[in-house]
Amino acid sequence: MMREWATVVTWQHGVAQVRCEQRAGCGGCHAKQSCGTRILNKLAPETQHHLEVASALPLVPGQRVEVGITEGSLLRSAFLVYMLPLLGLIGGAAIMQATVGTDPAAACGGVAGGVAGFLCARYLARHTHETHNNQLVILQVALPPSSLHVRD
């Protein structure tokens, strides 16, 4: 299970909208100066991701929750996003090269196959999003900010 802490933005009718902040690197090691992930994250602007998660517990804005998703779901998503367009590109180029036999036709077939693979991935992502295995789940709920009091 892949886990990440998020902040609740809103909660209405059993659905919480949460915000996950992008970290500057994976935080998995101490190679901060030579880490390629950290360097690439510095180039991109800071981003926040807003996600919807089902929650039977009432949540308040500002509350922290730990959300999780299964590794299998993450791998299926990566396959959809990366492999289907790539397979479409290679397949379209190969078909056009075999039938027409010219490089411009193979290039056009590659572009058409890549676009077809992207559209196929988009269609499958929309229709498999609702399955139970692809849903985010709330694993832990922190105390709401109003219940924490600091005494002098």
Per-residue model confidence (pLDDT) at position 124 = 86
Residue 121 lies in a domain: yes
Residue 82 lies in a domain: yes
Residue 66 lies in a domain: no
Indicate if the pLDDT at residue 132 is higher than 60: no
Residue 120 lies in a domain: yes
Residue 80 lies in a domain: yes
What residue numbers bound the domain in which 80 lies?
71-134
What band does 134 get if pLDDT is binned at 50, 70 and 90?
low
Measure the CA–CA gap between 53 and 77, rounded to whole angstroms: 18
Residue 61 lies in a domain: no
Q: Identify whether the C-beta of residue 1 lies closer than 8 Å to the C-beta of residue 68.
A: yes
Residue 109 lies in a domain: yes
**Whole-number average pLDDT of the chain:** 81
Greater confidence (137 vs 46) lies with: 137
Contacts (Cβ under 8 Å, ≥6 apart) of 18 = 6, 7, 8, 9, 50, 51, 52, 53, 65, 67
Among 25-34, 54-63, 64-73, 106-115, whose mean pLDDT is lowest? 25-34
- Quote the number of domains for the chain: 1
Among 75-79, 94-98, 133-137, whose mean pLDDT is lowest? 133-137
Indicate if the pLDDT at residue 46 is higher than 70: no
Q: Look up the pTM and report it.
A: 0.61
Residue 49 lies in a domain: no
- Segment 23-45 shows an average pLDDT of 61
Question: Using CA atoms in the order 48, 49, 53, 57, what is the torsion angle rounded to 10 degrees?
Answer: 0
